[in-house]
Amino acid sequence: MADSLVIVESPAKAKTIKKYLGSKYIVKASMGHVRDLPKSQMGVDVEDKFTPKYITVRGKGDVLKELRQAKKKVKCVYLAADPDREGEAIAWHLAHILDVPLDQECRVVFNEITKQAVKDAFKQPRKINMDLVNAQQARRILDRLVGYGISPILWKKVKKGLSAGRVQSVAVKLIMDRELEIRQFVPEEYWTVTAVLASGEDEVEAKFHGYHNKKTELKSAEDVDKLLADIKGKRFIVEEIKTSERKRNPAPSFITSTLQQEAARKLNFRAQKTMAVAQQLYEGIDLGKEGTVGLITYMRTDSTRISETAQAEAKAYIEQTYGKEYLPTSPRTHKKKAGAQDAHEAIRPTSVLRKPADIKEYLSRDQFRLYKLIWERFVASQMATAVFDSVTADIRAGDALFRASGSKLKFAGFMKVYVEGNDENKKEEDKLLPPLSEGQTLKRKSIDPKQHFTQPPPRYSEASLVKELEEKGIGRPSTYAPTLDTIQKRGYVFLKEKRFVPSELGEIVIQLIGEFFPEILDVKFTANMEDDLDQVEEGKADWIQILDHFYQPFQKRLQTAEKEMAEVELEDEVSDEVCEKCGSPMVYKFGRFGKFLACSAFPECRNTKAIVKSTGVTCPECKQGEVVERKSKKQRTFYGCNRYPDCEFVSWDAPVARPCPKCKGMMVEKKGKKGTVIRCTSCDYNEETKD
């Protein structure tokens, strides 16, 4: 008979842990939070030390009944929620509901769900850490004060259903500021001049650097004309050759933000999807004979720290697989990021010996791709430095200096396993110079001047916005994904070509918040508030005092905004389409899945329809309808017949507005890594890849 009850958050986690603990333990899932602040009201007594008025989460009655019944059958209760503030708060709420004394050592935490880690954790139970709980309560109450304070004013003055969040408002402000930079950006002209030179049968490309060893910018066609006149008839002579060795160190193992960024770059995952798949890998996967095992360590972390045990296992694996030369000269350590809590290790595989290829058959496609990314990043982080040989040649033509450079990978090191991505998707490739000698004269083959214009800063992608939030200290690992999700669902921003663009509604809301609640949009204020919450977690600050210090001036601003904020009337953008039900013009609206068309006669007429874009291509299936561009609920572009549901033709590839020359069937553009291929959907006709 069981003598202990263990409570975790999810059934998947419960299933994994049950297999490790055996028959003496009953393992149940709380299904997340069991108590929370009510949705219908503020739920915080600001007059009584910000006392929260918690209620049982709706729909959790049966779960709590089951937990209470299970408790009656055992002598001891262990609360094994996730090892962070949120998990500590869940454990505290469960202790309150189940009458578990707070001085009882009932809290069990583990950073990875493996048999050894779980068994070790149950040997060292501890009391619930009230500093962690209070840090979570402070964040929850702070966000409630902001949201339930400002939102009703926005409902009155702008539009019903709006919300204002502490972290989400700063995120929208960053997106809006970037958009303003782009709008105000004035392109500046500049030129490059490349000389294609010959050394025997080899070619050398050298770019103009400057005059008299001083870097000179070419800002106009006149500057280029002067340069071309200066070098006319001049010989190109190799003046100096510099060789050097360049080293590149591996990136550290993932933390939450870098995992979200890299998964966006390499796997095209949204932040929310990355965290959902990582949760599955953490909670456990059934690996056949090995049983269910957690494949990665806890995925909400801002620490790059790696345990000595994991380092030793990685060292042995690298030496055996790649050779001793691929080990670093000393154990890898990475500088702790300013403001990092360092409560957990970095995100890594629970065992480097579980190679992705060996367990691929047990994983879904998304699970495999994310696990492979985490595994490779960790292994690479423990490997030797990569070494490049670099060569720079200065080539003189009169007073003008041209420079050619090249590099070659001398020793791959960590790059044998993994190379970190970048937002521009630029790949580092070997670019070699042919053998050259100082004093050598090179033959001029061609001179290629090109005009360029400076570009505005790019809009934020999910990856770059997460990076910006992290660098500015806005939010914490657990907040990035829900923040990005919320600002889109509220209609404050939308994705255009995978980049964030502020909506008119978002701009209006941020302008009003900035006018009446400037501290909410102040990046430093928000970052300092995160530091204050960290102080609460460490037991160095009183959470009630922090809330009071914020609320007193904030309350006065609420009163001012209630009186002085002007009402804003949002006018819907009228489309060219007419409602087929009542004949009224259709207007553009913005919902949780993006823009859509709605009848302007609402509420008398409630007709809505998706926005479609014509392609001019006849449907290849029914031969009657037209193929149109649509958006899925996840804002992914696809193509389908406009006669749907009468015709169910659908394609992810863009149709081409000309028929197949072989069979007259529909052709589509298929995008791949090497470019875009045009192929026929009816026969084997393919056109060559376009650059």
Active site residues: 298
* Residue owning tokens 């990978």: 409
Is 349 within 8 Å of 372 (Cβ atoms)? no
Q: How many residues comprise the chain?
A: 691
Rounded Cα distance between 172 and 152, Å, is 19
- Residue 317 CB-density burial (10 A; 0-12 exposed, 13-18 middle, 19+ buried): middle
Closest CA to 202 of 434, 436, 443: 434
- CA end-to-end span of the chain: 69
The pair of structure tokens assigned to 74 is: 């055992």
Pairing of strands 4-8, 25-29: parallel
C-alpha span between 129 and 101 (Å, rounded): 13
In contact, 287 and 352? CB cutoff 8 Å: no
What does each C-alpha distance from 215 to 210, 244, 453, 617 come to in angstroms? Answer: 4, 21, 19, 53
**Placement of tokens 């160190």 in the chain:** 249
Nearest one of 203, 222, 345, 371 to 287, comparing CA atoms: 371
* C-alpha dihedral, 145 to 146 to 149 to 152, nearest 10°: -130
In the sheet where 76-79 sits, what is the strand order?
25-29, 4-8, 76-79
Q: Please work out, in degrees rounded to the nearest 5, the angle formed at the alpha carbon of residue 607 by the alpha carbons of 602 and 610.
A: 120
Q: Burial level of 569, CB count in 10 A (0-12/13-18/19+)?
A: exposed
- Cα 670-610-646 angle, rounded to 5 deg: 75
Could you tell me where the beta strands, DSSP code E, fall in 328-440?
Answer: 386-397, 400-411
- Determine the Cα–Cα distance for residues 373 and 263; give it in Å rounded to an integer: 8
- Walk across the sheet containing 585-591 and list its strands: 574-578, 585-591, 594-599, 608-609
In a 13 Å sphere around the CA of 486, the CA atoms on its Cβ side amount to: 18
- Spatial distance between the Cα atoms of 2 and 316, rounded to a whole number of angstroms: 40
d(Cα 295, Cα 113) in Å, to the nearest integer?
8
Kindly list the distances between the CA atom of residue 53 and the CA atoms of 22, 31, 42, 44, 50, in Å, as whole numbers in the listed order: 38, 21, 9, 6, 9
